[in-house]
Every structure is written in structure tokens, then in C-alpha cells.
């Protein structure tokens, strides 16, 4: 049962990533051909700039410099790519009985 639930969640995340990619492609057409996909950090700032700034300041003080840089690199990923990657990672690939 858990395999089925994980597969449905993973495939739903992949479908959501495709929808977000479609939105970015439509924005590209509207702007005349310049592809500009949003990153996770940009989307977080769009919805709640205060919490993003607070989290970024916490990163600088609470984590070592190398680890904080890796987290910042993760927030630079395109939103659709990050969601698709997470969906692929949690979707079980073996056969469901």
C-alpha cells in the first residue's frame, strides 16, 4: 500500500513540475523568446519575502560556510526541475504487486 501511495505522490509531483515548466514556456512566448525559469528562491521571495530573508540570515549564522553555500545552491535550482527531481526520487521503480 505504501508503494502505491508513494508512486501516486511522486507522479503527482512530476505532473506539477510539467505544469510549472509549461507556465515558464508560456512566459517565454509572451516575452518574445527569452527563457527565464523561476528558481526556488525566487518563488519563495515572491510568496513570502520576510521568511526568505530570515531563513537566509539563519543560514549565515547557524551553518558552516560550505553547507550554507550548498543550501543556497539548492535554492538556485529551477522550481520545475527541483520538484521533478523530488518526484523521481520518491517514486518507487519496482513493480507494485
CA separation for the pair 84, 78 (Å, rounded): 10
Indicate whether 3 pLDDT > 80.
yes
Angle at 77 between CA 74 and CA 23, to 5 degrees: 145
Residues of the chain above pLDDT 90, percent: 39
Indicate whether 96 pLDDT > 60.
no
Identify the residue with better confidence: 96 or 40: 40
CA separation for the pair 56, 82 (Å, rounded): 19
Indicate whether 97 pLDDT > 60.
no
Among 26, 13, 28, smallest CA distance to 91 is for 13
Answer for the pair 80, 26: CB distance below 8 angstroms, yes or no: no
Amino acid at each position: 500500500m505504501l508503494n502505491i501511495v508513494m508512486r501516486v505522490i511522486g507522479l503527482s509531483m512530476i505532473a506539477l513540475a510539467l505544469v510549472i515548466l509549461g507556465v515558464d514556456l508560456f512566459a517565454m512566448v509572451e516575452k518574445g523568446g527569452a527563457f527565464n525559469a523561476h528558481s526556488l528562491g525566487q518563488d519563495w521571495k515572491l510568496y513570502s519575502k520576510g521568511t526568505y530573508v530570515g531563513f537566509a540570515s539563519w543560514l549565515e549564522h547557524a551553518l558552516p560556510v560550505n553547507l550554507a553555500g550548498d543550501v543556497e545552491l539548492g535554492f538556485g535550482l529551477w522550481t520545475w526541475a527541483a520538484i521533478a527531481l523530488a518526484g523521481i526520487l520518491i517514486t518507487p521503480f519496482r513493480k507494485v504487486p
